[in-house]
């Protein structure tokens, strides 16, 4: 395996980055690998890679062209998603809002929605166990984007152990009840997840449901959308610690 020796010595390259190697892609086994992800310890070709936009090894060599190819790969349809948002607004305005839980997908949805209608209402459901990193990130995005966000949370005290003993009850108290309150005046929400709202009449639409993880990250990089710092620590969910999953963090 011929990988640039910088990989072992440069701490920057402990994040996903381009490589020069004869290794085949470990997913399709057809194309030569062009990206190495230290988190998953996998070599992937550009077509099979999923994750944050990889770092360039050198600004003065052909690797720059690889990044252009990565950023221009079109497996997402902004026009379709924007039209879906516009149609939803036409149908439900003013009883439509964006739910944001400060993960990468919900911020992409929020960015798309604001491109269609700047004054889209935004709400978020917080819990006593929302990570501090997410709270600080939320405040930073609100300030940077000039957002007006309505925040909802339970007024009940919930012990940490509840998610271990009765996880469904934990989610009901921390998420379902506040979310039902948050959507009380709305008929439609643009959301990145299947929600817990106890409101059968609520229409929930995910405009990027068919994009895939790589497309979400590519759009995020292309439009310089802020990224929750918990991702760099290996977290895959960022809104509530009992349900957050941290698989492998960067060394």
Q: What is the mean pLDDT of the chain?
A: 80
Q: What is the pLDDT of residues 140-185, one digit of tens each?
A: 999 999 999 999 999 888 898 888 888 889 888 998 889 989 999 9
Mean pLDDT of 70-97: 84
Lowest mean pLDDT among 87-101, 174-188, 206-220: 206-220
* Predicted pLDDT at 195: 53
Q: What is the pLDDT of residues 97-141, one digit of tens each?
A: 999 999 999 999 999 999 999 999 999 999 999 999 999 999 999
* Predicted pLDDT at 2: 36
Please, are residues 14 and 21 in contact by the beta-carbon 8 Å criterion?
no
From the list 245, 218, 220, 242, the residue with the least C-alpha distance to 230 is 245
Domain regions of the chain by residue span: 6-72, 78-205
Tokens 């960022």, located at residue: 238
Q: Residue 17: is it exposed, middle or buried by C-beta count within 10 angstroms (0-12/13-18/19+)?
A: buried
* Selected residue with higher pLDDT from 249 and 156: 156
Mean pLDDT of 41-46: 84
The CATH superfamily holding the domain 78-205 is HUPs (3.40.50.620)
In the predicted structure, residue 22 carries a pLDDT above the cut 50: yes
* Predicted pLDDT at 223: 85
In the predicted structure, residue 85 carries a pLDDT above the cut 90: yes
């Amino acid at each position: 395996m011929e990988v640039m020796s910088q990989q072992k010595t440069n701490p920057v390259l402990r994040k996903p980055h381009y490589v020069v190697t004869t290794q085949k892609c470990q997913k399709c086994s057809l194309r030569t690998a062009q990206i190495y992800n230290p988190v998953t310890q996998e070599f992937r070709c550009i077509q099979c890679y999923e994750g944050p936009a990889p770092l360039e090894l050198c600004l003065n060599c052909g690797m720059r062209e690889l990044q252009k190819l990565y950023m221009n790969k079109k497996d997402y349809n902004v026009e379709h998603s924007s039209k879906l948002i516009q149609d939803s607004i036409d149908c439900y305005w003013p009883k439509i809002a964006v739910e944001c839980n400060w993960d990468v997908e919900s911020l992409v949805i929020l960015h798309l929605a604001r491109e269609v209608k700047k004054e889209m209402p935004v709400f978020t459901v917080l819990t006593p166990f929302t990570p501090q990193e997410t709270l600080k990130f939320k405040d930073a995005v609100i300030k940077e984007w000039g957002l007006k966000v309505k925040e909802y949370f339970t007024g009940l005290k919930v012990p940490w152990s509840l998610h271990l003993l009765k996880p469904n009850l934990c989610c009901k108290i921390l998420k379902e009840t506040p979310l039902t309150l948050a959507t009380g005046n709305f008929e439609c929400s643009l959301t990145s997840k299947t929600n817990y709202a106890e409101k059968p009449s609520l229409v929930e639409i995910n405009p990027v449901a068919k994009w895939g993880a790589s497309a979400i990250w590519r759009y995020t990089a292309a439009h310089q959308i802020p990224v929750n710092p918990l991702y760099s620590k290996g977290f895959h969910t960022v809104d509530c610690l009992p349900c957050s999953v941290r698989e492998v963090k960067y060394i």
